[in-house]
A = this chain, B = another copy of it.
Amino acid sequence: MNVLAIGAHPDDIEISCAGTLAKLVKAGHQVTICHASDGDKGHYRIPPEELIPIRQREARQAGAIIGSEVISLGMRDGNILADHEGNRQMFIDMLCRVQPDMVITHTPNDYMPDHLSVSKLVFDTTFLATLPKASKQYPNCAKVPSLFYMDNLSGLDFQPTLYVDITETMETKTEMLRQHQSQLVWLKEHDNVDVVDMMVTLGKFRGVQAGCTFAEGFIQHMVWTRPNAVRFPV
């Protein structure tokens, strides 16, 4: 399968679903990671123009660990609007290039606006990308992909309908997250958390719920024209 994971910022994918992505790669599936923003405001001291290349490099390093291509759409933190034609077109073009069978993204009830906008943009454009001439650069998507929402960072009001046992890839996931060195600082200062520790806690907690050591949780968004009977492949 061709799986595409789309987050708002570099590191969102690593925190919430990298264990599953690593497992998918091990099982022979193709995985692409996309970030809408370069994460330009994710630091109190490093200014945006310096921060962007740092975070692009961190994201590429993380993706390289599982051999995934990493795409950035070049948006700006705090500026991702969902009801916006230009943003829709950028998502459509990217989707038409990747042609995913399955897409993972933020849940619509996540904690901050960029996540919410990306969630809605993904829902909207995974359908729109199948319309005739959706993209000027690429052929339209051959089908509407299945859609999975990943855990928000705290599990608040998020009851998974699907668990993936990531015990075997937890180490890889941790290594991927550690590439985002700049964010270990930011999340400590902005949110007072050690993000690696928080990710491990969430992984153990989902493991308790799922009956294994570490797990990631997802909610499948089942709407019409999507292949809802296809079983998650790992």
A: residues with CB less than 8 A from B are: 41, 43-44, 77-79, 81-85, 109-113, 116-117, 123-124, 127-128, 130-134, 152-157, 159-161, 163-165, 190-191, 193, 198, 201-202, 204-205, 208-212, 215, 220, 222-232
Contacts and interface: CB of A to CB of B under 8 A. Distances in A.
Most buried by B among A111, A161, A193: A111
Contacts of A130: 190
Most buried by B among A152, A193, A224: A224
| Majority SS at the chain A contact face | loop
Nearest to A234: B231
A132 B224 contact: no
A72 to B, nearest CB: 19
A229 B208 contact: no
Given A154-B209, A156-B223, A191-B224, 20 more contacts: A41-B132, A81-B84, A82-B83, A111-B223, A111-B225, A112-B124, A112-B127, A130-B190, A155-B209, A156-B159, A163-B228, A190-B225, A201-B201, A201-B205, A201-B208, A205-B205, A209-B222, A210-B227, A211-B230, A231-B231
A133 to B, nearest CB: 8
A128 to B, nearest CB: 5
A78 B81 CA distance: 17
A90 B160 CA distance: 33
22 contacts: A44-B132, A78-B131, A79-B85, A81-B83, A83-B84, A109-B223, A112-B127, A112-B225, A113-B123, A113-B127, A116-B124, A153-B224, A156-B224, A163-B228, A164-B229, A209-B222, A209-B228, A211-B226, A211-B227, A212-B229, A215-B229, A231-B231
A228 B205 contact: no
